[in-house]
Structure 1
Amino acid sequence: MFALVVRFDCSDEAAAARFDELTSVVIDHITEKEQGTLVYATAAVEGEPLARVFYEVYRNRDAFEAHEAAEHVRQFHLQKDPLLTSTRVEYLTPGAAKGLDQQ
């Protein structure tokens, strides 16, 4: 398994709204096309209206690489990047969990 958490900080409320629209579209594509993406959960940050956090779990690193190379993800990155003031990526070593296949 391969996992990461990404925090995105949007530049303003309009950028956050557009970011959320783009996220909704890409989630549909990920759900439909990516068998190796096990979890792709997005959230707004309480008390920080311009912040978003993604929690992503992939079957393995190859599945993550395939995700990043997918056209729908590449387009998402191109469209979202101008909306952001910062991005922070943290790669995780999954430990004990409920709800994830630990194979």
Structure 2
Amino acid sequence: MTSSFALVAHFELHDAAAAEAFDALVEQALADIRVHEPGTLAYIVHTVPDEPLTRVFYELYEEQAAFDRHQEQPHAQYFMTESEQYISALHVTFLRADAGKGPMAN
């Protein structure tokens, strides 16, 4: 496998109003990520059936440096700052790809 860098972020939101506001922030951030982050290979936001206050992000970057650049972007910083008011819990798991099929597999 190559030196890709990935993570899964699991967000728990306060209530339905918080989920709606959080989702709007996600849409704003995604618009900038699509245009300004060529090193971000995948940034996928999932909802969880039967858990309407849960969002799970899967993020795949070319390398650690691409993730670091993502974190420095104004839109990423704005998202994290603004979203704090809607989040009751956040758990992030950093991943290392060892085998598989996908854009970063040999």
- TM-score computed with the length of structure 1 as normaliser: 0.95
Structure 2 residue aligned with 1:21: 24
Structure 1 residue aligned with 2:85: 82
Structure 2 residue aligned with 1:12: 15
Structure 1: distance between partners of 2:74 and 2:36: 11
Structure 1: distance between partners of 2:42 and 2:99: 15
Structure 2 residue aligned with 1:73: 76
Q: Which runs of 5+ in 2 are unaligned?
A: none
- TM-score computed with the length of structure 2 as normaliser: 0.93
Structure 1: distance between partners of 2:98 and 2:50: 28
Structure 2: distance between partners of 1:24 and 1:40: 12
Alignment of 1:18-97 (within 5 A): 18-97=21-100
* Aligned pair partner of 1:101 in 83, 96, 104: 104
Cα distance, 1:46 vs structure 2 = 1.1
> What is the root-mean-square deviation in Å for CA atoms of aligned residues?
1.0
- Aligned residue pair count: 103
Deviations 1:42-71 (A, max 9, x none): 011111100000000000000000000100
Structure 1: distance between partners of 2:97 and 2:81: 29
Q: Which runs of 5+ in 1 are unaligned?
A: none
Cα distance, 1:99 vs structure 2 = 2.9
